[in-house]
Structure 1
Amino acid sequence: MRRAVCPGSFDPITNGHLDIIARASKLYDEVYVAVMINKAKKGLFEIDERIDLIRQVTAEFGNVTVESFHGLLVDFCKQRDIPAIVKGLRAVSDFDYELQMAQMNNGLSGVETLFVPTNPTYSFLSSSLVKEVAAWGGDVSHLVPPIVLQALDQRLKKD
């Protein structure tokens, strides 16, 4: 069984994230989406909300499991016998940081990192940018799945 993990905060999941997860789901038998818990950071969506949204938008793939994690990603991988991390790269600046992380993860545990170039349609896209544009009333409907757009609209109307 070939397993990989796609880690991130996914606050919220974007079409760029979804593209990487979809592509990974074609390469691996099982893909875990690991939603990072960072207690020092207050997200727009709670961890359980993010997990629920991700489960809904990845259900069609059939081989994606969504879980949260706190701590080192390599520990998450060891506990689930996952030998590979799949990361999307938007730009050269992403590569500099991600290469260091990949080398550290490999040195700590032997876990390999597969870099997947982002679809050019999403090369500028980040969760932070989506939240900022949506907060100012901008149209992000082409940047997130419909259910995520609905959740964003509801959350931003409440705040």
Structure 2
Amino acid sequence: MKRAIFPGTFDPFTIGHYSVVKRALTFMDEIIIGIGVNDKKKTWFPTEKRVEMIRKLYADEPRIKVEAYDNLTVDFAREREAGFIIRGIRTVHDFEYEETIADINRKLAGVETILLFTEPELTSISSTIVRELLQYGKDVSDFLPEGMEVE
């Protein structure tokens, strides 16, 4: 079985994230969306709410699991017996950062990282921008997967 971790803060989970998961499901048997708990990051939604929103989104997809974790991503992958980490890439800067982390994860645990480039029409969408729009009371529905509600 090919199992992958798709890690992130997902605050909130955007259509860009959704696209990466959809595309990764074409070659993975199971994907665990891992919501990293990072006390240094200021989040809009509590961890439990993010887990709940994403689980609801994938309620009819048995190959998707959603869990929070508070350790290194590579350790979380090993604990879940995942041989792969899926990451979305929007920019050259993302690529350089992810390449370094992928090398370290492979050396530490033999876990391979698969980088999926964001679809061109989605490159400008980020959780950071969506959070800022939410902060100012703007409608963000165009940036979220269909059916995902943020309150």
* Aligned partner letter, 1:33: I
Quote the residue 1:63 is aligned against: 63
Q: Verify the 8 A CA contact 1:6 1:31 in the aligned structure 2.
A: yes
Q: Verify the 8 A CA contact 1:74 1:105 in the aligned structure 2.
A: yes
Task: Map 1:1-159 to 2 at 5 A.
Answer: 1-148=1-148, 150-151=149-150, 154=151
Quote the residue 1:157 is aligned against: none
* Aligned partner letter, 2:116: V
Q: CA deviation at 1:81?
A: 1.0
CA distance in 2, matches of 1:147, 1:43: 21
Q: CA deviation at 1:138?
A: 3.2
CA distance in 2, matches of 1:81, 1:89: 24
Root mean square deviation of aligned Cα: 1.4
Q: CA deviation at 1:144?
A: 0.6
Q: Which runs of 5+ in 1 are unaligned?
A: 155-159
CA distance in 2, matches of 1:50, 1:43: 10
Deviation by residue 1:34-60 (Cα, 9 ceiling, x = unmatched):
000012223111111000111111234
Q: CA deviation at 1:146?
A: 4.7
* Aligned partner letter, 1:37: V
Q: CA deviation at 1:147?
A: 4.5
Corresponding residue SS for 2:125: coil
CA distance in 2, matches of 1:97, 1:111: 17
* Aligned partner letter, 1:91: T
- TM-score, normalisation: structure 2: 0.93
- TM-score, normalisation: structure 1: 0.89
CA distance in 1, matches of 2:145, 2:86: 21
Deviation by residue 1:112-140 (Cα, 9 ceiling, x = unmatched):
00010111121111111011123223332
Deviation by residue 1:78-109 (Cα, 9 ceiling, x = unmatched):
11111101111001111011101101111111
Corresponding residue SS for 1:13: coil
Q: Which runs of 5+ in 2 are unaligned?
A: none
Runs of 4+ in 1 over 6 A off after TM superposition: none
Q: Verify the 8 A CA contact 1:14 1:126 in the aligned structure 2.
A: yes
- Comparing 30-39 and 56-65, the one that deviates more: 56-65
Structure showing the higher helix proportion among its residues = 1
